[in-house]
Structure 1
């Protein structure tokens, strides 16, 4: 081991030793860990009119589980999807319009908005060469965050805080997130995977979903069904209330009166985390592990036994987590997962992957039982959106390193709406309290240490 590694190792031991906090102190001082109340509900820190996540009712201080609903500006997201499917249209752009402006667009308003988005998808001159190709990243989320921050340098008016300027910046980011992500992926292919790199131009007449598939594939080819299914996933991921970690990050950073690029860049960093948007990759990795260790995928006994090993930290990544199960708000069901599951069934049948789909369904049923056996918690557990999203992306031949970036390509719509809401209706910097538990100490001169 080299000198630097030994030095860092010693410092790590010091850091860990000097930062222990007795867990009983959290209860003593009534600390809301993770901004959660004792009953699992979130601490109320703000008001929003953008989105609502419904999974339970509180009666007499107790949470009562109810079927899950996801609302965008008061409209059920399931209705947005049904309407898009009924008219065989791409619906993500309409969802973006609704989230930004609070109302459903007329057909003419929607067409103008789509045209505006389409015209902005191409990155500024020299951006691709200077900001993406010259500094590729092995992780596309980090590359995306850098692309967001670099966009500041290409903005002629990056610091103005007027609503019109912030709205312009947000719309430009919404339109370009797919391009930034796809080009970051192509750079990774070239410099880290030793594969060919294909830089295609986005087409203004194509939807967000169509352009994304066009940009990540060497032949630019995709089917209408593929694009429509990706569009559906984008709609489902576009917004999830103000309390999710990345949207809260936008509110917190925006409340400090910083620029748009700093606020959105911070949100990308939040979404990357395995406890947030990065969970979809962990689900796929977990499923790979299960498929390699369970001989009979249809056997309830074998599958449940292996899930027990995962829960007991004896298998997979030894964290004890069954990824894709559980949600802070949804109890009976995550409506996003329900919609994706139904579409996954159809796609799996088309691609001859019904055995794998049935394994997902089995884990969806058995996982909550295993968690209850392990923890004895009567809280209802359901699969969340991450459980099926990665499976669908895999069947669409989308590389798994793009799963979480795709989440960002969609969620930039919700982040933008939350930034605007904070600028318009916030007006006060977030400043929660932390209780110091270390007494004041007398300073020791260096020669006496």
Structure 2
């Protein structure tokens, strides 16, 4: 079959699918469908209980949502306190964060050292894994490469189907350790086979933190500054967990509830996180900012910047989606605590890298965009910048390629996913089975030879 013939057939099939699948939007209201698993007042549909994390953006008073400054809580602890403690002790905090999420308690010094050492030892991929599973099948998208790497890890596990909590913990710790290596090596393979650039495969160093190892593995000279590693470590802490209701963590719960293996559950979560409405949003922010910088002459002019943001919101500019990427969140309304913490570091890094003019543009957009979004959508819902708004800018200043932005999210979130998988195994017990209302009518069957 020629390419032209294949294209023609696919066009016909596309037309058939589009014709048969549309659903009248009014029916969703008629049947009280919780689209996106959201209630009419914007709150999430309660589908489970968790002890792992909490995302606080509002409080309910007399049945009404009252917006409050955002808080992110890991196992009962405010994430800001975890970060302050790490900074006070001049330590990288992601490893402590992962321990807390997995085991529910803060480790003492000895436990943290033992855990960090074990993570370090697990960073090296199994024998021949890099050659057979990464280099022989490179991918232009690192997230797809990571998902394949996770599934391939099943074949290198002596007991992959063992669902005991002890074995699942072992599998999860190994994945937490190896995610940064999978991402870095996937990136190197992509550089070699898609970008025609030199290939650099460095061995991880067990004594280094997750942030340090990642920067070391993606750079040809293996060099990085302490500030660069500290800022990446902060980003890893902030992205490690976000409650059981975010799409990828929910995916872990749903797939795990079917009683499947760890690798299948985690690969599904990677696929979820890749989506542009989830972890892939940080790349869209940077692409939007490229468009704004190219079309706004005076970055300091509130009037000019506001006018262009309005064009984006009214589908007249950028990707014509009407979305101002990096603005708004399902839970946070007044502030996203992750964005607040990352913005402070972004400013510090911008001063060091000579990017204050660009930081000021981000700051101005953050200031004017919420009111514009409310005006365009005729809504009184408060909107704030979310963590994606500054994360891509930070990664860019760290000279991290864009194709690694979402993989960094995965390197971090694997800790939260692991905690949710363990929680589902221990406390779940029932397969997820929500209902869908069938709105089509039954039809009389037409034999093949009688069809037109």
**What's the TM-score, normalizing by structure 1?**
0.99
Distance in 1 (CA, whole Å) between partners of 2:227 and 2:371 is 36
Query: Does the alignment pair 1:428 with 2:430?
Result: yes
Residue correspondence of structure 1 range 395-410 to structure 2 within 5 A: 395-410=397-412
Distance in 2 (CA, whole Å) between partners of 1:385 and 1:171 is 26
Partner of residue 291, structure 1: 293
Partner of residue 19, structure 1: 21
Equivalent of 1:77 in 65, 79, 86: 79
Cα distance, 1:58 vs structure 2: 1.4
Distance in 1 (CA, whole Å) between partners of 2:379 and 2:81 is 33
Cα distance, 1:62 vs structure 2: 1.7
Once structures 1 and 2 are overlaid, which stretch shifts more, 344-353 or 129-138?
344-353
Equivalent of 2:58 in 56, 59, 65: 56
Distance in 2 (CA, whole Å) between partners of 1:101 and 1:266 is 23
Equivalent of 1:98 in 100, 121, 124: 100
Residue correspondence of structure 1 range 339-418 to structure 2 within 5 A: 339-418=341-420
Distance in 1 (CA, whole Å) between partners of 2:374 and 2:385 is 14
Distance in 1 (CA, whole Å) between partners of 2:25 and 2:328 is 23
Partner of residue 266, structure 2: 264
Q: Which runs of 5+ in 2 are unaligned?
A: none
Q: Deviations over 1:350-409 (max 9, x none)?
A: 111111001001110111111011011111100001000000001111111100000000
Distance in 1 (CA, whole Å) between partners of 2:390 and 2:336 is 11
Distance in 1 (CA, whole Å) between partners of 2:326 and 2:125 is 35
SS at match of 1:327: coil
Distance in 1 (CA, whole Å) between partners of 2:16 and 2:316 is 29
Count of aligned pairs between the two proteins: 449
Distance in 1 (CA, whole Å) between partners of 2:130 and 2:301 is 50
Distance in 1 (CA, whole Å) between partners of 2:4 and 2:367 is 49
Distance in 1 (CA, whole Å) between partners of 2:312 and 2:446 is 48
Cα distance, 1:418 vs structure 2: 0.1
Distance in 2 (CA, whole Å) between partners of 1:73 and 1:376 is 38
Cα distance, 1:448 vs structure 2: 1.6
SS at match of 1:444: coil
Q: Which runs of 5+ in 1 are unaligned?
A: none
Partner of residue 66, structure 1: 68
Partner of residue 221, structure 2: 219
SS at match of 1:2: helix
Cα distance, 1:297 vs structure 2: 0.3
Partner of residue 173, structure 2: 171
Cα distance, 1:60 vs structure 2: 2.3
SS at match of 1:56: strand
Q: Deviations over 1:237-263 (max 9, x none)?
A: 000000000000000000000000000
Partner of residue 254, structure 2: 252
Query: Does the alignment pair 1:147 with 2:158?
Result: no
Distance in 2 (CA, whole Å) between partners of 1:91 and 1:85 is 8
Distance in 2 (CA, whole Å) between partners of 1:351 and 1:6 is 51
Equivalent of 1:442 in 416, 423, 444: 444
Cα distance, 1:224 vs structure 2: 1.1
Q: Deviations over 1:72-98 (max 9, x none)?
A: 000000000011011110000000000
Partner of residue 421, structure 2: 419
Which stretches of structure 1, 4 residues or more, deviate above 4 A after TM superposition?
none
Distance in 2 (CA, whole Å) between partners of 1:309 and 1:448 is 53
SS at match of 2:58: strand
Once structures 1 and 2 are overlaid, which stretch shifts more, 245-254 or 217-226?
217-226
Cα distance, 1:23 vs structure 2: 0.7
Distance in 2 (CA, whole Å) between partners of 1:343 and 1:124 is 36
Partner of residue 8, structure 2: 6
Once structures 1 and 2 are overlaid, which stretch shifts more, 53-62 or 265-274?
53-62
Partner of residue 319, structure 1: 321
Distance in 1 (CA, whole Å) between partners of 2:8 and 2:341 is 51
SS at match of 2:438: coil
SS at match of 2:436: coil
Equivalent of 1:183 in 182, 185, 190: 185
SS at match of 2:56: strand
Cα distance, 1:61 vs structure 2: 2.1
Q: Deviations over 1:169-216 (max 9, x none)?
A: 000000000000000000000000010010000000000000000000
Q: Deviations over 1:324-372 (max 9, x none)?
A: 0000000100000000111111111111111100100111011111101
Cα distance, 1:154 vs structure 2: 0.3
Distance in 2 (CA, whole Å) between partners of 1:4 and 1:87 is 62
